[in-house]
Structure 1
Amino acid sequence: MFTFTSIDGLDVHVHEWPADTPPRGVVQIAHGMGEHAARYTPLARELAARGYAVYAGDHRGHGLTMRPGRPGVLGDDGWNLLVEDLAALTRIVRARHPGLPVVLLGHSLGSFAAQQYLLDHAALVDAAALSGTTAVDRLLAHLADSGGDVMAVFNGPFEPARTGADWLSRDESQVDAYIADPLCGFTLDEPSMGGLAAAATGRLAEPAGIPTGLPLYVLVGDRDPLNRRTELSSLAVERYRKAGLTDLTYRIYSGARHELFNETNRDEVVGDLTDWLDRVTA
């Protein structure tokens, strides 16, 4: 692990998994809300075995970057700074691996940050993948209309449920590990959600200016409650098509829930991801 200092003085903690062989490319992972980068260790090790150097920072308000006792608190202008932290890390890994292709892989909240990243920093990466992603403005509007606890709304389609986190995966052991993890299970505080909402209803709703040839991979489960049976992920993909992206792959996994890399069909998901990575980094 290592740390770097963000523009507001925050030390951002970064996990690193070196490639098992001379690296063919770099994958930078942006994790989701209420979790942390170490949860991606199995995926990172599989990517490292395929020749990819992997980096994943703990977002501000999360994991080892979290200020003590302040889960989900991103701070002043925290949402925009979270996105800038991703760009800062990309510059670091590019300096460490000159000449190698870099792919940004964002999951859930990390994919929302990646959506904004691509509007400002697309030149830093050679491709991007969005897992468990959605049309964020429409998702937030749905949550506002529901008027309840976010996690309860997400778990609603699976009631009567075994746990309050059944929406994450069909794999009960993965759900139980999430619940038992003291660094998991929270949402952003109100000011931080406000920063996300401002971006979602503005720039993210009409993506423009992304290089049209940038490879983009969108992967979701058709039981992911963030997407209302893929309605919202399909809307996000259509927006990117209208923005002119020409190398766009959209994959929907039948029966899968939100955390595709922790699902019962994770071998299929990871295999498809690595096949795509091999193509776009060749």
Structure 2
Amino acid sequence: MRVIGAPLDDRELGWPHITDVADPAAVERMVQRAVSEFGRLDCAHNTAGMAGAGQPIPDYPLEEWYRGIDVMLTGAQKALALPPGFSLFSVSEKAFARAEKIPNRGFYFDFLEFKKQQAEWMTPSTPSIAHIHALQSKLDEIFEEGLDARSDRHARTNALVHDWVRRAGFDFFAEEGFCSKTLTCVKNNRGIDVLKLARDLREKHHLVIDPGYGNIRGQTFRLSNMGDETEETVSHLLACLDDCLG
């Protein structure tokens, strides 16, 4: 934990490390790297559920879904290009069997209650009908385009963003080899006024980017090429960024 008021060390921002938690050797390598990087490992919090870093559902290879993942939670926004406020999850038979042995499962995440209601095409609480219809429409579009074609499109738009980052003289916040294919976190190594950049982009071109969160607000900004973004829309965004940067 960081002492309040102490300078923020770059290492306290964390680092990504892709690890297959089903592979003991891979987990051991992750722990060794953590100890090497930080000197020790005080605790570990397992939030595993989806292998890979920054891989939204539409870009995820189908074979990865069949690796015995018991419970997977996600949201409907961003890569699915839907409004926020709707959660999706999948549960394996193994997880259902485990839930049957839990006497006090709660309500909101009682998988057995969801399964019971699903058999009657219902949900335990009032469903968000608008989200359900929007999701159906979006899934139709995704499968019409094809998962491979969608993934290829995101790879092309991502290449445009990464080329722009290098050309504009910025660095990537993530380590080499760990950048997302659909969302790029740009390190503000040029020392520009990121909040002003975001404001100018919004006021001059009616486009919105994220100027960073929490302790790294202003030290980074994020550029998305996920969801329905195309080479045309991403190129337009990058041209507008050039205009605002002068």
- TM-score for the superposition, normalised by structure 2: 0.24
- Going by fraction, where is strand more abundant, 1 or 2? 1
Structure scoring higher RCO (CA < 8 A, sep ≥ 6) equals 1
Give the structure-1-normalised TM-score. 0.22
